[in-house]
Copies of this chain bind each other. A is one copy, B any other.
């Protein structure tokens, strides 16, 4: 059975929408996803405000309130019948996210056993056939085939098979 590792933020969980919402609300700005084409939020917000962006991620509730990406629950459940599915998130970058992410997964993806959840920092440590991730830095380190999940920041990245949403994931792996 082939093994698929799946990233959380921007793949299963819509983190950038929440990040934009909090930043815009507190600063009376109207940055949209369209403004992020080819850029991370960190590239658009001035460097003196980066500690503020960081503080949102480190808050007690950020990762627990994220919306689930459309169709991801249904497709993940279907993937589990044909593949060994692991969740792999770079949670080590934000230690305050550990418990929030665990609860979020239990709430929205209760069919994924805890034994198949991985918190790491460098996804080069994963032994899997595929990694679905929006972050090209992680895909470069991964030794299986990296599948690039589209996000505003990665629109110009090439060199990987790309999926634009979970219907594309379904088509690629089950289609």
- Using CB atoms and an 8 Å cutoff, list the residues of chain A in contact with chain B: 3, 5, 86, 88, 91-93, 95, 98-99, 102, 113-122, 124-128, 143
B98 contacts A102, C-beta separation under 8 Å: yes
Copies of this chain per assembly: 2
Partner of A115, one of B3, B115, B122: B122
A119 contacts B118, C-beta separation under 8 Å: yes
Given contacts A92-B102, A116-B122, A118-B119, could you give 15 more A-B pairs where the C-beta distance is less than 8 Å? Answer: A86-B125, A88-B125, A92-B115, A95-B114, A98-B98, A98-B99, A98-B119, A114-B121, A117-B120, A117-B121, A118-B118, A118-B120, A125-B128, A126-B126, A127-B143
CB distance from A97 to the nearest CB of B (A): 9
Alpha-carbon separation in the docked complex, A117 to B126 (Å)? 12
Alpha-carbon separation in the docked complex, A114 to B124 (Å)? 14
List 8 interface pairs A-B (beta carbons < 8 Å), by A numbering. A92-B102, A98-B99, A98-B102, A98-B119, A99-B99, A115-B121, A125-B127, A127-B143
Determine the chain B residues whose CB is within 8 A of the CB of A114 once the complex forms. Answer: 92-93, 95, 121
Alpha-carbon separation in the docked complex, A86 to B120 (Å)? 10
